[in-house]
């Protein structure tokens, strides 16, 4: 990269060709950097300490809250995808979240919040990106999960209370619902049943022409399903408020077995407002199926009709955007999402960048890809247990049965995309250094694949 001059000092990244190891080169004020002089340059490893110092020098290397505008989350399981993400998102008007990984994903990739954050930051610096960007501590389940993300400097926190969502309340008989309502921790919700009945049963709720007339059963199902989750969200939200000056907060109730009805969405949003939870993004569980690495599965007309009602609730309650989780590759519904939300939306992706990395492996090291494919087939039945997928390994051929062209085609087929997608943790344990070696040797190929792939994602949302 060309030297970047800022406030009297110059900074750039340099690479040793033989090892492909990169360094930060500083001329001018070298205070607090850790490294050594080589001629007139101070050469520093890309360490956590040097990343902290550089962020203190250059303000746009720190993430910031993005609010309710259009935003897009780019998951990066290898720490090498940010240049391609930047190439795709520039000039779209969409605010990017470049550092995004969940606790579960960090466990499976062997990374940690600081590493994810710093990998994105070095790429941002090298690319010259100076617009606002975010860092998402994804799918936070407990207070204990928060601390490493807070220390690293994340700006966006996704609370996942789904362990506290009671899916059975979706179909419980009324007498069971009544018992569950009796067990609600009302003190933690600063409410009681009389108060709830007054709020939701005394008169219909108008949401931009949509009239929501709650019955007692509707209210009891919403309370039975989500009351414990709301109390948990409030607890985590209060912790963030006490420990951070500013942040974006997303509430995610999408990883449940049952869809979030429009009335339940309204109930959740209004209760979060009443409790003072400063959320700017909400991810309901929408109708249909949002599976990993593939397009939307379901009746498109039903989705469009119900999604339109969800957006009426969002616009009426106000102050937040809808979030689309497992949002990658849902090309058939992006136009509906963009239109109905008026682009007041966050789209979250994760493993699709990993699949593009495997596309590079097919092109550059076909023998390695054959090993990965066969290994993924052997791991799929076990690794799929924590994912919502319907791909079948029996419909994915062994590598020996495929030509090179057929192997590339597998990255565009339903079953093989899911088999390759959800086995990423096992594959990285076995082949991670080899995959990274290919990507480091051919960074321009990876960036090119990512730019094409995410340009298609972003086309519906560009401003």
* Residues 187/148, Cβ–Cβ less than 8 Å: no
Given 105, 118, 138, 329, which residue is catalytic? 138
Residue 328 lies in a domain: yes
Task: Specify whether the CB–CB gap between 322 and 310 falls below 8 A.
Answer: yes
Confidence of residue 82 (pLDDT cuts 50, 70, 90): very high
- What pLDDT does 11 receive? 97
Among 348, 380, 410, the domain-final residue is: 348
Confidence category of residue 232, pLDDT binned at 50, 70, 90: very high
- 172 shares its domain with 255: yes
Whether 138 sits among the annotated catalytic residues: the reply is yes
Cα-based distances in Å from 450 to 88, 354, 422 = 7, 10, 19
Domain membership of residue 68 (yes or no) is no
Q: Give the helix ranges, DSSP H, for 207-250.
A: 216-243
Q: What is the pLDDT of residues 303-350, one digit of tens each?
A: 999 999 999 999 999 999 999 999 999 999 999 999 999 999 999 999
Torsions phi, psi for 216 (to 5 deg)? -60, -35
Q: Please report how the helices 216-243 and 174-182 are oriented relative to each other, as an axis angle in degrees rounded to 10.
A: 30
Give yes or no for a contact between 380 and 422, defined as CB atoms under 8 angstroms apart: yes
Count of the separate structural domains present in the chain: 3
Residue 278 · residue 241 · CB < 8 Å: yes
Q: Quote the pLDDT of residue 225.
A: 97
How do strand 205-207 and strand 210-212 relate by DSSP bridges?
antiparallel
The residue from 348, 371, 404 where one domain ends is 348
Residues 314 and 400 in one domain: no
Q: Is residue 264 part of a domain?
A: yes
Instruction: Quote the tokens at residue 306.
Output: 């119900």
* Residues 210 and 310 reside in one and the same domain: yes
- Is residue 16 packed enough to be buried (19+ CB in 10 Å), middle (13-18) or exposed (0-12)? exposed
246 assigned to some structural domain: yes
- The tens digit of pLDDT for each residue in 405-435 reads 999 999 999 999 999 999 999 999 999 999 9
Look at residue 447 in the predicted model and tell me its pLDDT: 98
The CA distance from 148 to 157, in Å, is: 12
CA distance 333 to 299: 11
Whether 146 is in a domain gets the answer no
Alpha-helix residue ranges (DSSP H) falling in 244-351: 262-274, 300-317, 334-341
Predicted pLDDT at 5? 95
Place of tokens 């940010």: 82
| Residue with the two structure tokens 């009805």 | 261
- Are both 222 and 322 inside the same structural domain? yes
The reply to whether 194 and 309 lie within a common domain is yes
Q: Name the pLDDT band for 18 (thresholds 50, 70, 90).
A: confident
pLDDT in tens, 52-74: 999 999 999 999 999 999 999 99
- Which residue among 20, 40, 57 closes a domain? 57
Question: Residue 288: what pLDDT?
Answer: 97
3-class SS of residue 38: strand
CA distances in angstroms from 197 to 224, 283, 333, listed in the order given:
14, 25, 36
Q: What percent of the chain has pLDDT over 70?
A: 100
**pLDDT tier at 20, thresholds 50, 70, 90:** confident
pLDDT band at 19 (very low <50, low <70, confident <90, very high): confident
Domain ranges, residue 33: 1-57
Same domain, 224 and 316: yes
Residue recorded with tokens 């995610």: 252
Give the pLDDT of residue 78: 97
| CA 462 to chain centroid | 19
**What pLDDT is recorded for position 189?**
97
Express each pLDDT in 95-137 by its tens digit: 999 999 999 899 999 999 999 999 999 999 999 999 999 999 9
265 in Cβ contact with 284 (< 8 Å): yes
**DSSP notation for 156-204:** EEEE--GGG--GGGGT--HHHHHHHHHTS-HHHHT--HHHHHHHHHSS-
CB 89 within 8 A of CB 83: no
Pair 332, 381 in one domain? no
* pLDDT band for position 1 (cuts 50, 70, 90): confident
Q: Would 3 be classed as within a structural domain? A: yes
In whole angstroms, give the CA distance from residue 265 to residue 214.
Answer: 12
Which residue is catalytic, options 119, 145, 248, 250? Answer: 250
Query: 358 and 339, same structural domain?
Result: no
In whole angstroms, give the CA distance from residue 232 to residue 230. Answer: 5
CB atoms within 10 A of CB 133: 27
Q: Which burial class, exposed, middle or buried, applies to 246 when counting CB atoms under 10 A from its CB (0-12, 13-18, 19+)? A: exposed
Verify that 184 and 35 share a domain, yes or no: no
Q: How far apart are CA 217 and CA 201, in angstroms?
A: 10
Has residue 141 got a pLDDT over 90? Answer: yes
Report, in angstroms and rounded to the nearest whole number, the Rg of the chain calculated over CA atoms.
23
Q: What is the mean pLDDT of the chain?
A: 97
Give the tens place of pLDDT for each residue, 377-399: 999 999 999 899 999 999 999 99
Residue at 73 is within a domain? no
Based on the residue annotation, tell me whether 254 is a catalytic residue of this protein. Answer: no
Q: What is the pLDDT of residues 259-303, one digit of tens each?
A: 999 999 999 999 999 999 999 999 999 999 999 999 999 999 999
- CA dist 252 → 138, 214, 256, 325, 346 (Å): 10, 23, 10, 8, 12
Q: Is residue 260 part of a domain?
A: yes
Two structure tokens written together for 356: 């593009």
How far apart CA 31 and CA 346 sit, in angstroms, is: 39
CA terminus-to-terminus distance, the chain: 29
Tell me: do 189 and 230 sit in the same domain: yes
Residue 17 in this model has a pLDDT that exceeds 80:
no
Q: 360 with 341, same domain? A: no
Same domain, 294 and 342: yes
């Amino acid at each position: 990269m060309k030297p970047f001059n800022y406030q009297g000092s110059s900074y750039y990244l340099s690479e040793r060709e033989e090892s492909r190891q990169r360094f930060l080169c500083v001329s001018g004020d070298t205070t607090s950097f850790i490294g050594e002089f080589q001629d007139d340059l101070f050469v520093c490893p890309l360490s956590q300490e040097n990343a902290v110092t550089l962020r203190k020098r250059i303000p746009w290397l720190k993430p910031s809250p993005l609010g309710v505008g259009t935003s897009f989350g780019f998951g990066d399981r290898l720490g090498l995808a940010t240049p391609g993400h930047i190439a795709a998102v520039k000039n779209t008007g969409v605010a990017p979240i470049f550092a995004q990984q969940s606790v579960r994903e960090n466990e499976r990739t062997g990374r940690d919040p600081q590493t994810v954050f710093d990998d994105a930051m070095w790429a941002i610096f090298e690319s010259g990106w100076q617009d606002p960007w975010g860092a998402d501590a994804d799918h936070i389940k407990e207070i204990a999960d928060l601390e490493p993300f807070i220390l690293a400097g994340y700006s966006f926190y996704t609370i996942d209370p789904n362990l506290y969502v009671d899916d059975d309340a979706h179909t419980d008989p009324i007498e069971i619902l009544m018992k569950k309502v009796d067990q609600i921790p009302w003190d933690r919700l600063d409410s009681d049943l009389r108060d709830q009945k007054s709020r939701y049963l005394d008169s219909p709720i108008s949401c931009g022409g949509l009239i929501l007339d709650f019955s007692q059963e509707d209210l009891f199902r919403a309370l039975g399903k989500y009351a414990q989750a709301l109390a948990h969200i409030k607890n985590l939200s209060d912790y963030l408020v006490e420990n951070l000056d500013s942040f974006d907060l997303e509430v995610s109730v999408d990883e449940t077995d049952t869809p979030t009805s429009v009335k339940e969405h309204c109930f959740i949003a209004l209760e979060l407002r009443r409790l003072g939870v400063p959320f700017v993004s909400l991810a309901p569980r929408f109708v249909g199926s949002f599976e990993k690495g593939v397009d939307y599965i379901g009746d498109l007309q039903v989705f469009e009709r119900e999604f339109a009602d969800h957006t009426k609730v969002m616009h009426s309650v106000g102050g937040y955007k809808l979030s689309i989780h497992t949002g990658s590759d849902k090309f058939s519904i992006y136009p509906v999402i963009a239109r109905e939300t008026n682009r007041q939306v966050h789209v979250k992706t994760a493993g699709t960048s990993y699949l593009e990395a495997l596309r590079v492996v097919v092109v550059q090291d076909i023998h390695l890809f054959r090993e990965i494919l066969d290994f993924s087939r052997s791991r799929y039945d076990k690794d799929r247990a924590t994912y919502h997928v319907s791909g079948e390994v029996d419909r994915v051929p062994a590598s020996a049965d495929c030509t090179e062209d057929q192997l590339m085609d597998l990255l565009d087929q339903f079953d093989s995309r899911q088999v390759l997608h959800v086995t990423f943790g096992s594959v990285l344990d076995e082949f991670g250094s080899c995959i990274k070696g290919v990507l480091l040797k051919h960074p321009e190929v990876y960036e090119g694949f990512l730019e094409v792939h995410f340009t298609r994602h972003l086309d519906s949302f560009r401003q």
